[in-house]
């Protein structure tokens, strides 16, 4: 019995299982009890870890530029980042490093970076790059005095080590899935805040549609906040305005992240539409909530554990060698088909064929 087996039986992520077994916060009491019960019933025995070093090898800082857009002030409560941090902390501990946390004001980057590197006396920095553009990262490069790795974005022309999701691949997988099911009437729900990750996901999605000779009508592209898990009045307003024109709701919707997808499912339900009977919904990220929402969300799985391990290992290599390691590593995605997507209803397929 492995963590993956317990996660599958409990219907949760591997990170959630680890939190439960180690008595850490971050999951609800019912979920924790279910995980522990499954572990006990199957006689789970945790692997014996290598004895810790007498002294910590040093410390690594997880650095965040928080704002009101993608990476919120309470970023550690956002499902994607919460899981990522868990795996980073786990990997640091395995190498004998402690993990520190710090945030910087985006309006005063250089001073903030210097303060972090000087006061924390950290051996290295893992910088969350999700919401950072090329210009800001150039400022970081000029100000950083310790080894660092940027996680969750990539700019190919910058001499910086990056660990990035293969967002183009993930978007492509989502597009191929919907087209493979027979969908031709497809809509798109984008984030109203743009980052490199979302742009790349759209590139991959559009490539899949072009290969299948499916067009995405711009009238079927909607835009909403990317960090709200509940239904959104703005989305319901946009969908209602679309329907008021006498247009039929797209038979399938791709959403740029799971937050948007879960919000879309709830918004569609309130408008009287059934997922997936009336409309299929596909997300991106595979956060733990993707298996809690009803129906369970079809989505693109991001290898958060793999990304975290690569970031820590690359940074420690740079710390130990004393040389800047400027590799750029892209981690492929996996497509996860669940209950929120299905082939279009026969009536829809017939009308499309006649059209």
pLDDT averaged over 10-residue windows placed end to end, the chain, 355 residues: 80 79 67 80 60 60 79 75 92 93 75 69 88 88 87 93 97 98 97 94 98 95 91 95 95 97 97 97 95 96 96 93 82 97 73 40
| pLDDT score for 12 | 81
| H or E stretch covering 328 | strand 328-331
Q: What is the pTM of this model?
A: 0.79
| pLDDT score for 295 | 97
| pLDDT score for 65 | 84
Residues comprising the chain, all counted: 355
Residue 238 near residue 170 (C-beta atoms within 8 A): no
| pLDDT score for 72 | 64
What's the distance, CA 165 to chain centroid? 9
| pLDDT score for 50 | 42
Alpha helices, H only, the chain: 3-10, 14-21, 29-41, 79-94, 109-119, 134-143, 167-180, 196-211, 233-244, 258-270, 304-321, 346-354
Sheet holding 97-103, edge to edge: 97-103, 58-64, 124-128, 148-151, 162-165, 328-331
| pLDDT score for 337 | 97
Which structural domains are found in the chain, ordered by start? 3-41 (no CATH), 58-165+305-332 (3.40.50.2300), 167-301+337-354 (3.40.50.2300)
**221/238 Cα distance (integer angstroms):** 10
| pLDDT score for 131 | 86
| pLDDT score for 355 | 41
- The backbone torsions φ and ψ at residue 183, rounded to the nearest 5 degrees and listed phi first, read -75, 135
């Amino acid at each position: 019995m492995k963590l993956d087996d317990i996660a599958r039986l409990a219907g949760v992520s591997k990170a959630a299982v680890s939190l439960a077994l180690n008595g850490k916060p971050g999951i609800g009491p019912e979920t924790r009890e279910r995980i522990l019960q499954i572990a006990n019933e199957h006689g789970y025995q945790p692997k014996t870890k290598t004895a810790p070093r007498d002294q910590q090898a040093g410390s690594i800082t997880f650095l965040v530029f928080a704002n009101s857009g993608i990476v919120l002030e309470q970023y550690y409560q956002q499902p994607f980042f919460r899981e990522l941090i868990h795996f980073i902390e786990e990997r640091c501990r395995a190498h004998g490093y402690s993990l520190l946390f710090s945030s910087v004001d985006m309006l005063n980057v250089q001073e903030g970076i210097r303060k972090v590197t000087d006061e924390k006396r950290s051996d290295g920095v893992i910088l969350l790059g999700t919401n950072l553009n090329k210009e800001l990262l150039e400022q970081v490069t000029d100000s950083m005095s310790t080894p660092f790795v940027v996680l969750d974005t990539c700019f190919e022309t910058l001499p910086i080590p990056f660990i990035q999701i293969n967002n183009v691949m993930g978007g492509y997988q989502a597009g191929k899935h919907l087209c493979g099911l027979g969908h031709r009437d497809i809509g798109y729900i984008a984030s109203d805040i743009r980052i490199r990750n979302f742009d790349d996901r759209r590139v991959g999605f559009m490539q899949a549609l072009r290969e299948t000779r499916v067009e995405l009508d711009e009238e079927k592209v909607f835009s909403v906040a990317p960090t709200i898990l509940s239904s959104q009045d703005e989305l319901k307003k946009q969908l209602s305005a679309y329907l008021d024109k006498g247009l039929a709701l797209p038979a399938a919707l791709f959403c740029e992240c799971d937050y948007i997808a879960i919000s879309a499912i709830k918004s569609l339900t309130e408008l009287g539409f059934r997922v997936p009977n009336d409309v299929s919904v596909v997300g991106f990220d595979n956060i733990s909530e993707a298996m809690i929402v009803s129906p369970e969300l079809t989505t693109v799985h991001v290898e958060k554990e793999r990304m975290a391990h690569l970031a820590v290992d690359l940074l420690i290599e740079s710390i130990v060698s004393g040389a800047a390691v400027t590799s750029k590593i892209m981690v492929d995605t996996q497509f996860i088909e669940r209950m929120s997507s299905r082939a279009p209803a026969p009536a829809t397929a017939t009308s499309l064929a006649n059209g």
